[in-house]
Structure 1
Amino acid sequence: MQTLFPQIKPYARHDLAVDGPHVLYVDESGSPDGLPVVFIHGGPGSGCDANSRCYFDPSKYRIITFDQRGCGRSTPHASLENNTTWDLVADMERIRSYLGIEKWVLFGGSWGSTLALAYAQSHPERVHGLILRGIFLARPQEIEWFYQAGASRLFPDYWEDYLAPIPEDERHDLLTAYYKRLTGNDQIAQMHCAKAWSTWEGRTATLRPNVQVVERFCEAQRALSIARIECHYFTHNAFLEPNQLIRDMPKIAHLPGVIVHGRYDVICPLDNAWALHQAWPDSELQIIREAGHSATEPGITDALVRATEEMARRLLNLQPDEA
């Protein structure tokens, strides 16, 4: 089994001002002359961490990580102002241009797969290839499954805690009920909802219970940005037209792609990856046994690291013994 590469420190950090009031945190690590790759984090609302750089061989890749609007070290924290999918696509293009990158590899999981597809379909000429995990296509049925009815039947005990902040007479439309509280002025109610929302996601992210994953989701600052920004996006169907990402796959059908998906992914069920693969015949679909949604699960980590190694070999024209 492949594991993550050792943690490394960035060789450059940038604070990149985009549309007001947002300033993005961006860093670079690995080899300045390597194959450019951008790590696109999930959520939306999560942010990058030290492990985000560790899926890539630093001797081969120029690794770009950034925190999306309102996330992580970007400011202002948890802001919903000027925060849409297309703002984030524009931010990625701004980062690429700012760093002087002609083309890059896109590496994204969960919401990161959504944003990677949206960017690639908008700027196919700027993309070498895509490595995607835990496919989320942001279709209404996917949002309904996880936040209203579906996954609730598999985890009724965890679901009860997710329902707790919402009065019974509002539970017929949980997104609207949560959005009202997450954007309201009652900070106690806001944080209560943020913790319940993020705990639900953290508890269901792995096939086997993982305390570290749950704790990461429940950390107060991260929980607030995840809950506020996810609810904002999903209330607006991620600012996408119906089935847009599948509809527009012909724009990037020529690009190489690897899809990694856990067979028992409850947050983003496997049929999402299957639908994407059917619309992208030349992609490679890897269904990981004994895995759920999280990139931290050993089988998924193994597949992702192998995919980055193969992508580098392919794009840098390395022989197997050099890769």
Structure 2
Amino acid sequence: MRYPVSEPFDSGVLETGSHSVFWERVGNPSGKPAVVLHGGPGSGATPWWRTFFDSDRYCVTLFDQRGCGRSRPLASDPDTDLSSITTQHLIADIEALRVLHGIDRWLVFGGSWGSTLGLAYAVEHPSRVSELVLWGVTTTTRHEVDWLTWSMGEVYPEAFSDLLALVPDVERGGNVPAAYNRLLMSEDEELRDRAARGWCAWEERLATLQGPPNPSPRYADATFRLGFARLVTHFFGAHGFLPMDGISGRLDRIVDIPAVFVRGRLDIASPLGVVWRLAQQLPLATLHVVEDEDHGGADVTDRLLVSATDQFGR
């Protein structure tokens, strides 16, 4: 069972020059430090993320990554320059927050896109990571992005045909997220909205294994819908702004970090083999494969994640 939602004891804004990054801290100010890396990209650090930690044991830093949530400017704003929103910029923000709060090392907790960011941060700053707890684990390589689009297009050909319908003919055989990002950055407001709806419909299709897609209430918000679609396609179209071996080729740097990875067997958002091979190279990592759960996880995933933070918080 997850813990009750705890209220922040501190919050503020990290000024980076080009972005104002909103952060908050929950739990025990003297507790074990942890940082939460939300998914999306662009989903925001909603209160739900706080519930994986015992507020008596942990001091948890959460923040809305550049371009989303309570950070400004939003990716949905017409004048926002997405070139200042990359994985390297987000890693720098994590480090700036660590320094701001006087933390030496902290547990890194993340899910989905946040797991890619957590791994990228860990291999860049291994001395600053005490443990890793990651779920829905991905590394956002070209192989995984192609899986998310072209491979899943073979599973859901009708929905994939709808997704491709908006893409110009000359771009239909290539990088689908990059092509969509160009549509989403168009000066044509109607085209931007059609593209945002199209991408979010594909997200809903992949999130529902059987039957018609379950509509997500957050996509009903036009501002969220556009910002989310822009950020996802911006990062996925650039394969996470990482070299092909940006994570897999640097795992030697984190072999001494205890880690817990959780993935659903039914998680079709990326191939399970990626995290399985990753875990084989990390002697202190435990991979839990949950047979009956998908990318969003459910009761077993929640229990495993809370068990991990409880264990590391002792």
TM-score, normalised on structure 2? 0.92
Q: Distance in 2 between matches of 1:213 and 1:38?
A: 30
Letter in 2 for 1:309: D
Is 1:63 aligned to 2:60, yes or no?
yes
Determine which of 11, 14, 35 is the counterpart of 1:38: 35
Determine which of 69, 73, 91 is the counterpart of 2:70: 73
Q: 1:62 to 1:181 in 2, by over 3 A?
A: same
Q: Does the 8 Å CA contact 1:11/1:29 hold for their aligned counterparts?
A: yes
Q: Distance in 2 between matches of 1:157 and 1:258?
A: 37
SS of the residue 1:261 aligns to: strand
Determine which of 6, 15, 18 is the counterpart of 1:17: 15
Q: Give % identity.
A: 37
Q: CA RMSD in A?
A: 1.9
SS of the residue 2:313 aligns to: helix
The Cα of 1:167 is off from its aligned counterpart by 4.5
Q: Does the 8 Å CA contact 2:197/2:225 hold for their aligned counterparts?
A: yes
Letter in 1 for 2:307: R
Residue 97 of structure 1 corresponds to: 99
Q: Distance in 2 between matches of 1:73 and 1:24?
A: 8
Q: 1:12 to 1:151 in 2, by over 3 A?
A: same
Is 1:54 aligned to 2:54, yes or no?
no
The Cα of 1:247 is off from its aligned counterpart by 0.7
1:115-134 residue pairs with structure 2 within 5 A?
A: 115-134=117-136
The Cα of 1:218 is off from its aligned counterpart by 4.9
Residue 312 of structure 1 corresponds to: 313
Residue 172 of structure 2 corresponds to: 171
Letter in 2 for 1:121: V
Q: Distance in 1 between matches of 2:106 and 2:161?
A: 43
Residue range with higher mean Cα deviation, 158-167 or 115-124: 158-167
Q: Does the 8 Å CA contact 1:134/1:273 hold for their aligned counterparts?
A: no
Q: Does the 8 Å CA contact 2:207/2:213 hold for their aligned counterparts?
A: no
Q: Does the 8 Å CA contact 1:289/1:299 hold for their aligned counterparts?
A: no
Q: Distance in 1 between matches of 2:24 and 2:247?
A: 28
CA distances 1:105-144 after superposition (whole Å, capped 9, x unpaired): 0001111111111111111111110001111112111111
Residue range with higher mean Cα deviation, 117-126 or 234-243: 234-243
Q: Does the 8 Å CA contact 2:178/2:236 hold for their aligned counterparts?
A: no
SS of the residue 2:216 aligns to: helix
Q: Distance in 2 between matches of 1:120 and 1:217?
A: 32
Q: Distance in 1 between matches of 2:259 and 2:105?
A: 15
Residue 317 of structure 1 corresponds to: none
Q: Does the 8 Å CA contact 2:13/2:20 hold for their aligned counterparts?
A: yes
Q: Does the 8 Å CA contact 1:32/1:62 hold for their aligned counterparts?
A: yes
SS of the residue 2:84 aligns to: coil
Q: Distance in 2 between matches of 1:283 and 1:209?
A: 36
Q: 1:153 to 1:168 in 2, by over 3 A?
A: same
Long gaps (5+) in structure 1: 314-323
Q: 1:111 to 1:310 in 2, by over 3 A?
A: same
Residue 145 of structure 2 corresponds to: 143
Letter in 1 for 2:156: F
Count of residues paired in the alignment: 308
SS of the residue 2:107 aligns to: strand
The Cα of 1:175 is off from its aligned counterpart by 2.9
CA distances 1:275-305 after superposition (whole Å, capped 9, x unpaired): 211221320000011111114x222222211
TM-score, normalised on structure 1? 0.89
Residue 223 of structure 1 corresponds to: 225
SS of the residue 1:81 aligns to: helix
The Cα of 1:169 is off from its aligned counterpart by 5.1
SS of the residue 2:132 aligns to: strand
Letter in 2 for 1:128: S
Q: Distance in 2 between matches of 1:7 and 1:210?
A: 32
Q: Does the 8 Å CA contact 2:40/2:112 hold for their aligned counterparts?
A: yes
SS of the residue 1:244 aligns to: coil
Q: Distance in 1 between matches of 2:211 and 2:280?
A: 32
The Cα of 1:49 is off from its aligned counterpart by 0.6
